[in-house]
Structure 1
Amino acid sequence: MNPTNPYRNTGLIFSLYLPVISSCLILSLGIFDGKQANADEIKKVIQSNNYSLNLKSATKEKVRIAILDFDFSSVSNPNLLSVLQGGSKGVSDMLVNRLVKNGNFVVLERSQIEAILREQNLGDSGRVDAGTAAQIGRILGVEAVIIGSVTQFDIQQRRSGGGFLGFGASSSDTDAYVKLNIRVVNTTTSEILFVAEGNGNDSQSDTQVSVLGFGGGASTSNEGRLLTKATEKAIDQVITELNNKSTDLASLPKTLPSVDAAVADATGNTVILNKGKSDGYRVGMKISIERVTKQVKDPTTGKVIRNITQKLGMIELVEVDATSSVGKIITGGKFKVGDIAKPTQ
């Protein structure tokens, strides 16, 4: 419940208690076809009147996003990137890992993004703009793409102190500064939905004392650690902004998966596919089931370049996990293992 808006979840609470209310009404009547109502009969009535509770539909589906590698063209000292694990890809990797742990979004794996970039020759010309990002996102089957820039990635050092008659003390301060910004792009319209900025810094102080030329104290330098911590702080600020917008992002029009599935099992009215949430399949999606009737091959290489298919019918997905989907037949039938399943809406 949201303490600032006690009525926000009224609809959800009502849907949760609707089966109970229905049962109470039936019990109060005490009549079911002239007999005393019992638990099995009440259950049948509730199911027949579509009062079955569906918790999946009560929860908004998470938005699917892809995160492209950050741009470092504005950084004053690119050599510092070598101290960050992963180099220039380290920042985007850190953002991906944090968002996955956060759990508010479905984040596409880097391997899928890199495969599309290689296949389509996208992003090789340099900085990716909103139009190119949207094109990449549509191919990947995500609703939003995050493109970002690191505008500051610096180490600054300050030294102070002095000595007198062989006695002295000196101190050094090392500061790491990281600033980054992101743009979230709607893959349907190529519109930049919003921007967010993150700033992070981390510091280390060392002191040395010398007596008659002999010194003691600490003097260390760990630029990689400082820059990593500063980057994590900047990313945390960006994630806070993303979380604040997660509800708005979840309402974006859903894109169709770019990968066709195959029928893994067809028994009665139930069809199981070999693709699931990781490929963009979701509950309620309509899938066209088709059978390959002819394969067209490249005459020079012998590779299949096109499948000619015959439409057999349509299913609607009712259950989806990470790697598979379950659908119910709404038209057609006689599906077989290996038939192609193409998302249509």
Structure 2
Amino acid sequence: MRAKFVVQLVACMVGVTTSVAFGAATASAQAVTSKPIVAIEKMDDLANSGQAAAFSTMIQSAIESTNKFRVIERARLDKLVGEQARAKSGLVTSRKPGKVGGFEGADYLIYGSITTLSMVRKSDFGSSLLSGMLSNNNGGKTCSGGQATLSIDIKITDADSGEVRYNRRIDETQKLATTCDTQNPSVDAAALLRSAADKVATGLVTAIYPIQIAAVQSDGVIVLNYGEGAVRVGDMMSIFAKGEVIRDPATGEIIANDEQRVGGLRITDVLGRVSKAQPMGAFSGTPTVGAIVRPATADEVRLMNAKPKKK
């Protein structure tokens, strides 16, 4: 009798454990499937840089690292284009009830083109003179440095409505090391592309889910709800307090939000899913959890870096 009771007890415990594990797995799966899906279209390479495929991969990595979206890989997207054609004919339906066509789950589409990847050489007279002195050559060598420029046009659209949610030209520059020979200075194209990819991810994130204050610690450190892929150490940000919602009196549609700038932040630490920042300059109010955070404008950065006037 006792042995039978023990067997029944163990069976119950196994059932409860299995139920809990299944529930946790189901909740985790639901959390994943609830994330919006982004499809990255093929990047046009108008600059003939040969970097379009690498740039698409970098955008995918940057977006995935935000943990706010799921990304459809390019290989799968090619297959889905065919699925879309069949869906429009009525053979295939999308995951959304009552609809046909669409990229079967793609909520946002990213289009773009690399328009410029160029290098400008500039003569470095000081290095040329020093090279001549060290080599005992009166003529010396011709030394030059320069600057590399990468320009990319990016557009992010709502896959259902076609609404443009983000449309920007991203410009990245890189100072080139000085060389004293006939070879051109080397360009770290990967660094330029990765920086641009991070900005694309930030643009997508802030267009759909704004960066917000997640916590204000007792030591004054402010924790944001985004980490790798959205912000970088040294980034200057501005905090905005949520204001009164302004609606169109004719349609009732929200057309603006009366936000007020509270102060500025400098990103000091970037972790997987969060980042930490230090307040910069004076604050007009107390930063609170939920406040909106955006990249600071040039004028706001100057304001944060300004030294307080002596009394």
Task: Give the TM-score of the pair, scaled to structure 2.
Answer: 0.44
Q: Report the structure number with the largest CA radius of gyration.
A: 1
